[in-house]
Chains A and B, each alone.
Chain A
Amino acid sequence: AQSVAQPEDQVNVAEGNPLTVKCTYSVSGNPYLFWYVQYPNRGLQFLLKYITGDNLVKGSYGFEAEFNKSQTSFHLKKPSALVSDSALYFCAVRDPLPAGSYQLTFGKGTKLSVIP
């Protein structure tokens, strides 16, 4: 069974500082990994994904994430945080095995607050 964990309910960071939002996963096969962001009273917006290839993936709004197979992690990062980055962030994983399994499993979310 696939699972994903976001160990921090909340992350606080000062504006201009680098930010990291952590995600670890558990799957049987090679994972498909995603990050989404949710602003208040809005739906989720896709940020970036890792399917295969380069372990460092770049996404929208200056975000990037690093896939680390040995640590089963997919942490979201940004070099310089903006106040407008304050939102709820979700990591999600899909295990392509068994074939025909399509379920995407989401973490519980991490609330990011960027302090001016």
Chain B
Amino acid sequence: NAGVTQTPKFQVLKTGQSMTLQCAQDMNHNSMYWYRQDPGMGLRLIYYSASEGTTDKGEVPNGYNVSRLNKREFSLRLESAAPSQTSVYFCASSHSTSYEQYFGPGTRLTVT
């Protein structure tokens, strides 16, 4: 039981490049989330998926897209990376939106 896994762990991009962050959970959770963590800002929600087949914007969705591929997987795509997207990205999942969330180990992204 690996919990929530994220790939890659580290990534360096040039401005304008694109990439997809992958997330998978093996806890049979219905809800999945993407956050970014910046120093002094706490965690901010980018997008979430309350259940398979649905996605919704969070607090800071601009510049990102998501895909809930199936119940296990929820990917985050940066179409044209910008330096302002330099951050640590966390994926999380929960049984439902009323329950505690379980977090992956994070992806540290640097955009130059």
Contact = CB atoms under 8 A, between A and B. Distances in A.
A binds B: yes
Interface of A: 32, 34, 36, 41-46, 49, 51, 90, 94, 96, 102-104, 106-109
Interface string B20-62: 0000000000010100000011111100101000001011000
B101 A46 contact: yes
A41 B102 CA distance: 16
B42 A107 contact: yes
Contacts of B98: 32, 51, 94, 96
A102 B31 contact: yes
A103 B90 contact: no
Given A43-B103, A104-B33, 17 more contacts: A32-B98, A34-B100, A42-B105, A42-B106, A43-B104, A44-B43, A44-B101, A49-B100, A90-B42, A102-B31, A102-B48, A102-B97, A103-B45, A103-B59, A104-B45, A106-B42, A109-B42
Nearest to B44: A106
A1 B112 CA distance: 35
Contacts of A106: 42-44
A36 B37 CA distance: 14
Interface in B54-83: 56, 58-59
Contacts of B92: 44
Point out which of B42, B44, B98, B101 has the most chain A C-beta atoms below 10 A from its C-beta: B42
18 contacts: A34-B100, A34-B101, A42-B106, A43-B105, A43-B106, A44-B90, A44-B92, A44-B101, A46-B101, A46-B102, A90-B43, A96-B98, A102-B48, A103-B45, A103-B58, A104-B101, A106-B42, A108-B42
